[in-house]
Amino acid sequence: MTQSAGLKSFIELLETIGDNKYVFGDKLVEVGVSGPNLEATLAAIAMAQGELGHSRLLYYWVFDLKGYEGKKPDVKGQTGKAFRGVENVHNWITLIAALYTVNTAIDLILNSILEANRSKVVSRVNKLMREQKEHILYSRGWAQHLLEDKGAIPRKFKEALREITPEVGAWLREIEQKSELFAEGYLAKESQLYSKFMEELKDVPVQVV
């Protein structure tokens, strides 16, 4: 199957989202079991299943776009496109910082895919979008909680946000430079992903760049 430039870039985009969600699935369990309280731990483990489910949906979508037929291959690992800041999550603070920033960026991309209104795409994205919103609300709530906490926690959380935000922002800028995604209708024109991302982060009042 011959792939256009737009399709190649779209596949890479979906794999990047899938990889980050795959790693989040692992980190939410690995870090979540030592969450600050039982409620947080249970929520993290439940979200882990959601993130792994999202990654599987995205990988299966990629298999279809690549022209594979028949039974989908088992997903045994990511494709190597997960962000360094996601792979480096090691405690509750870095987990929440990564979840909030990365899922906020992913949500903007999924919105742009929906707005482009390509046939066969909308139904795949809608379920992702609904569950994605829940994850963003959860991580935003925790972000605000950590910023209002006592001791060194607010400072450490601000540092974690400042660490990961440039990597996520650079990814969005890179996507905006891929004109084939917009020309071939995979993303809506005038999406302004980076500026919308920075605007969204104002919900958590930290100077991140």
Answer whether residue 208 shows pLDDT above 60: no
Residue 123 pLDDT level (bands cut at 50, 70, 90): confident
Quick one: what percent of the chain has pLDDT higher than 90? 73
Looking at residue 209, its pLDDT comes to: 46
User: Is the model more confident about 170 or about 133?
Assistant: 170
Task: Indicate whether 2 pLDDT > 80.
Answer: no
Among the ranges given (38-42, 98-102, 119-123, 204-208), the one the predictor scored with the smallest mean pLDDT: 204-208
For 176-185, write each residue's pLDDT tens digit.
999 999 999 9
d(CA 72, CA 63): 7
Average pLDDT over residues 157-185: 96
pLDDT (0 to 100) of residue 106: 96
**Confidence (pTM):** 0.93
- Kindly list the domain boundaries of the chain, sorted by start residue: 5-203
**Model confidence pLDDT, tens digit, residues 38-84:** 999 999 999 999 999 999 999 999 999 988 877 777 777 889 999 99
pLDDT at 105: 97
> In sequence order, which residues have a C-beta less than 8 Å from that of residue 180 and are 6 or more positions away?
4, 5, 6, 9
Q: Give CA–CA dist 161/146, Å, rounded.
A: 11
Q: In angstroms, rounded to a whole number, what is the distance separating the alpha carbons of residues 108 and 112?
A: 6
Residue 1 has what pLDDT? 59
Report domain 5-203's class.
Answer: mainly alpha
Q: How confident is the model at residue 102 (pLDDT cuts 50, 70, 90)?
A: very high
Average pLDDT for the chain: 91
DSSP 3: -
- Evaluate whether 202 touches 161 at the Cβ level (below 8 Å): no
Q: How confident is the model over 146-165, as a mean pLDDT?
A: 94
Task: Report which of 111, 113, 100 is spatially closest to residue 200, judged by C-alpha positions.
Answer: 100
- In sign, the C-alpha dihedral spanning 130, 12, 102, 188 is negative
Q: What is the pLDDT confidence band of residue 207, given thresholds at 50, 70 and 90?
A: low
Average pLDDT over residues 109-115: 93
Cα torsion through 193, 198, 204, 205, rounded to 10: -170
Helix axes 5-32, 92-116, angle to 10 degrees: 150
